[in-house]
A and B are shown apart, each in its own frame.
Chain A
Amino acid sequence: MSFITGVGLTSYGKHEGSSSLDLMSKAAEQAIADAGLKRSEIDGVLCGYSTVSPHIMLATVFAEHFGIRPSYAHAVQVGGATGLAMTMLAHYLVDAGVAKHVLVVGGENRLTGQSRDASIQALAQVGHPDYEVTLGPTIPAYYGLVASRYMHEYGVTQQDLAEFAVLMRAHALMHPGAQFHEPITVADVMASKPVAMPLKLLDCCPVSDGGAAFVVSRERTGEAGIRVRGCAQAHTHQHVTAMPALSELGAEISIAKAKAASGLAISDVRYAAVYDSFTITLAMLLEDLGLAKRGEAAARVRAGHFGRDGEMPLNTHGGLLSYGHCGVGGAMAHLVEAHLQMTGRAGKRQVRDASIALLHGDGGVLSSHVSMFLERVR
């Protein structure tokens, strides 16, 4: 058994003058306070990576900086899936008695700490150094390739994809910490600058500064009981050139295993937190996870299905697309928001019922997947 006992999240956007360690520390402090714990009670640390300040031992660099001496600490690297992969590991660590309170933390000054070109270039390196990177692809191009194929096979249009950007922006307008506060329309998305077709600027998440953290504990530390009900991973490839057919991607494998591990079905889910690095990522994952039928996710967006008051509220903070993406912390914001929803602390974003949440993260080019069910227990 494990509980998410505290969460912390900075605003995303520009944090001029803050280092990756500063942003990690800020989020960590919030999460520990939220759990009602003292720093000294944290006996495990899992952290991600920073492309701005790469280090071979980031967890101990962070622990020293933060002023704690954990009995278990190391970094985890699974690209965009890192946050949920760390949560999954923390769940097993506390369940096995290795640690009582594991701090899971990610943060990076990716926007102000390096040029946008440097960020794009750093991320493009998930490609194969000899067979792909030499061709000048970017992360949007890897996903652009996948998008072209998905649209071809399932009749999805660019206007369909634009709906996801509009939805995430509408949600971000309700969160003061989001990077973007201007509403957008499908026409705005369609007219935005081409990046890697069929993906345009507003189909892509931004580069952000920010930090996110949570505490995973063996026992609950307060009244709220948000527990990890079940989780699973799947890793089918690294490079898009080696990606299996669209019908054999990892999201379908990991969700099937997570359903088996938790004994839950998609019909039990009341809130969804799904990785959305690009509009195509969100469209595909929703359909792979069974939150919409093939090719029908956009229609569900138009029908209000994924809105705050819809049947399946989704990324109510605005997601990577509009809350922002600071690397490892990016998708951790999805879990922070899910936790706020599950504990009734989401303010004007609060949904009716978030008793069971489904979270899903994706790293690389749909390479690594983590699916997780969280449940509120009395």
Chain B
Amino acid sequence: MSDRAADWTKGEQGIVYQCCDACGKVQYFHRSFCAACGTPDPVEKSASGAGTIYATSLVCRAATPETRAHVPYNIVLVDAVEGFRIMAHGDNDLVIGDEVTVRYQPFAGRLVPYFAKAK
């Protein structure tokens, strides 16, 4: 397993995406095939963690005790430089178009990707 890329959805510090050898399309949600052309076994890659803010929503009303402890928290959609879109957390003052980089922060008992403005 040591050659597997670090993946935040498995509690690790990394963002994994997939790239299709046949058609070149990238996808973020893991599948055993390329959703664009159906070719099996797209290549797993590690993202750089750099991207641009596509959308933001500051959550002020949460629905579970675990998430309520964090309000307000900013849910962001980031267009990664590699060409896929990811949902994550970010600084509360981020605006659409900001160039951002990722780090990882604890949230409701897990580690989640957290974006801040690129220096």
* Chain A residues within 8 Å of B, Cβ to Cβ: 117, 120-121, 124, 128, 130-132, 134-138, 140-142, 144-149, 152, 193-199, 239-242
Contact = CB atoms under 8 A, between A and B. Distances in A.
B5 interface: no
Q: Give the most central of A131, A141, A152, A242: most B CB within 10 Å.
A: A141
Interface in B73-117: 73, 75-77, 85-89, 96, 107-108, 110, 112
A241 B86 contact: yes
B57 A134 contact: no
A149 B55 contact: yes
Given A121-B63, A135-B89, A144-B57, A242 B75 contact: no
Interface residues of B, number: 32
Contact of A136 (B28, B54, B67): B67
A141 B75 contact: yes
Contacts of A198: 57
B112 A145 contact: no
A140 B59 CA distance: 8
Nearest to B70: A136
19 contacts: A117-B64, A124-B63, A135-B88, A136-B62, A136-B66, A136-B67, A136-B73, A136-B75, A138-B59, A138-B62, A141-B57, A147-B57, A148-B96, A149-B77, A194-B58, A194-B61, A196-B75, A197-B57, A240-B77
Given A149-B54, A240-B87, A134 B60 contact: no
B56 interface: yes
A240 B76 CA distance: 11
Contacts of B58: 144, 194, 196-197
B77 A145 contact: yes
A121 B61 CA distance: 11
A221 B76 CA distance: 52
A117 B63 contact: yes
A149 B96 contact: yes
Nearest to A145: B55
A145 B57 contact: yes
